[in-house]
Chains A and B, each alone.
Chain A
Amino acid sequence: MEEVLRWFCLPRSGCRASISGGPVSSPLLAPPLISISLPGEGERRSPPSSCCFLLFFSYFKELVGKEVTVELKNDLAIRGTLHSVDQYLNIKLENTRVVDQDKYPHMLSVRNCFIRGSVVRYVLLPQDGVDIDILHDATRREARGG
């Protein structure tokens, strides 16, 4: 677990992770959540090889089975149980429901879905999705330069 979390505090990696305990930036969700924004990827399709992607990949693999909300770049937010992730950060969710079903009834008959990694804007994790103590330690260690 510690290994997986170390990337959180690498300032040069281009990745960004934030923890918001109070009001969440996403207008779609009320409970306190931890959000991770992925590095800009646009038309990325060659298999990612940087350490940054491997870290995200292994991080998401640890989250399999947890309830997550995936917000897409078309503002659609889908909540479901994380079933699997691959090296492109494509995501498969089970027991899905769209967060605002009245506004977006387009997926009313869909219960399992595959989301292409390139259209993911945020993955909102459950509060216990990150071990805060390990994160704190890793951050302090990085701040000390070691």
Chain B
Amino acid sequence: MASAGPGLESLVDQIISVITNDGRNIVGTLRGFDQATNIILDESHERVYSTREGVQQLVLGLYIIRGDNISVVGEVDEELDARLDLSNLRAHPLKPVIH
């Protein structure tokens, strides 16, 4: 079947925000991907949401995430992202995906 579909080609070398099936949010630069949505993320960090304090950012570095564990890959608008006040953003962590 044709591969013309929602590939991730257009996001390569861009900053993306990945939501994983266990509810984590990892932000980094997309370096590669395949047809199973396995992805390579460079210079990545995790954003940890909680209701008690602002968003914490944990440095992760180079990551490969298996496609099975990926829910959403979002293209980060750097301008919007720069305007976010993460230290004052409080929210419940995302729920895990239940199949």
Q: Which residues of A contact B (CB under 8 A)?
A: 40-43, 45, 47, 72-76, 78, 83-87, 90-92, 96, 103-116, 118-119
- Shortest distance between the CB of A72 and any CB in chain B (Å): 6
Residue of A nearest to B99 (CB): A42
Known: A107-B72, A110-B74, A113-B74. A90 touches B81 (CB 8 A): no
Set of chain A residues within 8 Å of B6, measured between Cβ atoms: 83-86, 90-92, 114
Q: Do the beta carbons of A110 and B17 come within 8 Å of each other?
A: yes
Partner of A105, one of B70, B75, B76, B89: B89
Q: Return the CB mask of B1-28 against A: 1 if under 8 Å, else 0.
A: 1011111100100000101010101000
CA distance in complex: A143, B75 (Å): 46
Q: Do the beta carbons of B97 and A72 come within 8 Å of each other?
A: yes
Residue of A nearest to B49 (CB): A106
Residue of A nearest to B24 (CB): A106
Partner of B92, one of A72, A103, A113, A119: A103
CA distance in complex: A106, B86 (Å): 10
Residue of A nearest to B10 (CB): A112
Size range of the chain B interface in the assembly = 35 or more
Which of A85, A91, A107 neighbours the largest number of chain B CB atoms within 10 Å of its CB? A107
Q: Which residues of B contact A (CB under 8 A)?
A: 1, 3-8, 11, 17, 19, 21, 23, 25, 36-37, 47, 49, 67-68, 70-78, 80-81, 84, 89, 91-92, 94-99
Dominant SS at the B interface? Answer: loop
CA distance in complex: A107, B80 (Å): 10
Q: Do the beta carbons of B71 and A110 come within 8 Å of each other?
A: no
Q: Do the beta carbons of B80 and A74 come within 8 Å of each other?
A: no
- Shortest distance between the CB of B24 and any CB in chain A (Å): 10
Which of B5, B21, B77 neighbours the largest number of chain A CB atoms within 10 Å of its CB? B5
Q: Do the beta carbons of A108 and B80 come within 8 Å of each other?
A: yes
Which of A43, A96, A106 neighbours the largest number of chain B CB atoms within 10 Å of its CB? A106
Q: Do the beta carbons of B95 and A74 come within 8 Å of each other?
A: yes
Known: A72-B72, A112-B75, A119-B97. A106 touches B5 (CB 8 A): no
Partner of A109, one of B8, B23, B81, B99: B81
Q: Do the beta carbons of A73 and B97 come within 8 Å of each other?
A: yes
Residue of B nearest to A47 (CB): B1
